[in-house]
Amino acid sequence: MNDLRDKYIGLIAAAGDESTLEDLRVQAVGKKGEISLLMRELGKMSPEERQTAGPALNALKDEINSALSAKKAALEDAALDERLRGEWLDVTLPGRPRRMGTIHPISQVTEEVTAIFADMGFSVAEGPQIDTDWYNFDALNIPGHHPARAEMDTFYMHRAEGDNRPPHVLRTHTSPVQIRSMEKTGAPIRVIAPGRVYRADYDQTHTPMFHQVEGLAIDKDISMANLKWVLEEFVKAYFEVDDVELRFRASHFPFTEPSAEVDIRCSWEGGTLKVGEGDDWLEILGSGMVHPKVLQNAGVDPSEWQGFAFGMGIDRIAMLKYGIPDLRAFFDSDLRWLRHYGFAALDVPTLHAGLS
Ligand code: DAH
């Protein structure tokens, strides 16, 4: 019995996992285990022998059973410790932010402008970036000989010889979307059209591709006063100031009559731009009452309908609001620049939650 005890206590102590332990249990105290077989021998013993051997065997069986269950509990504890070591997490460590990229200032400003005009009842219209001469010029009352065509440094699309389709251009402004929108829905209409435009020009304040937003509001009795109010509301909301002074300067565009360019009061003191104060004026857009010929070209009866239009440079107002000195940086795709000027991807500009 002592040999058996030493053997099994040793084996149990050395067991490395629960299935080894289970094998040992079967070998020692299972139905046909060594100790169970010894117990069967008790019947063949004399009563005196039995009196000492019986309790001793029972004690041995108990000892082995409790060694087995103690070892089982120890193995389970060790397995749990092992798992906890692997799954351990230090919640006091700083988080690891994932670089998600940022929203480009042009996209941000386009969203801001859209949110402001949407609040005033304007919906968003679109047109193609490659458009015909007709939509980009003629329909807007800019005939072939008009100096405005030359001024715009237009990119003309190449046509193969014998291809007699009408000439196409990269649109030089978003104004052709006025024509397309009125053709589509007629009057009354209230839309803005943000998008890319193209001109062959390149320096600190000009890039061959840039962005404009067109505005158009046609109804029975829309006047310059409505234009002025809408633009004032826009500028206040966009620059996030309570008060702003606008200056309407008489100007000329073939597609509006009368026409005005609009400047905002600002100061450049200390090299930073402040909107709404100071003695400087800064031009931000062109506008006017839509020319009767333009309405007519778009299928809207000018004896019944009238309204205003405006065209604004998105890149320009982005530079102004966010203090970006060189327009060309917008198109360099420099990640460091984007991280500096970019906007969080999930911060969608709205009027109630704040634009920027
Ligand atoms: N299309 C003009 C440009 O690109 C801007 C403009 C001026 C648009 C007056 C308008 C407008 O709608 O009424 O320079």
> Which token pair is 11?
């084996």
Domain end marker among 28, 58, 86: 86
Same domain, 201 and 118: yes
Q: What is the pLDDT of residue 161?
A: 86
Residue 42 — φ and ψ, nearest 5°?
Answer: -55, -35
Count of the separate structural domains present in the chain: 2
Max Cα distance, the chain (Å): 135
Q: pTM to 2 decimals?
A: 0.71
Same domain, 54 and 153: no
Other C-beta atoms closer than 10 Å to the C-beta of 245 total: 14
Same domain, 171 and 271: yes
Q: Which domain holds residue 35?
A: 2-86
Nearest CA to ligand 1 atom 8: 311
Q: What is the pLDDT of residue 162?
A: 87
Atom of ligand 1 nearest to the CA of 308: 13
Q: What is the pLDDT of residue 157?
A: 87
From 170, 172, 175, the mutation candidate for ligand 1 (largest count of ligand atoms within 8 A of CB) is 175
Q: What is the pLDDT of residue 121?
A: 96
Same domain, 45 and 157: no
Same domain, 191 and 48: no
d(CA 242, CA 23): 84
d(CA 281, CA 313): 16
Same domain, 112 and 223: yes
pLDDT in tens, 220-271: 999 999 999 999 999 999 998 888 889 999 999 999 999 999 998 888 787 7
Residues of the chain with pLDDT under 50: none
Residues pairing with 266 in the sheet: 275, 280
Atom of ligand 1 nearest to the CA of 173: 4
Q: What is the pLDDT of residue 305?
A: 98
Q: How buried is 8 (Cβ within 10 angstroms: 0-12 exposed, 13-18 middle, 19+ buried)? A: buried
Residue 228 — φ and ψ, nearest 5°?
Answer: -65, -45
Instruction: Identify whether 342 is part of a domain.
Output: no
Same domain, 59 and 185: no
Same domain, 27 and 174: no
Instruction: Identify whether 308 is part of a domain.
Output: yes
Same domain, 308 and 160: yes
Same domain, 259 and 136: yes
- Residue with structure tokens 């800064």? 282
CA 144 to chain centre: 43
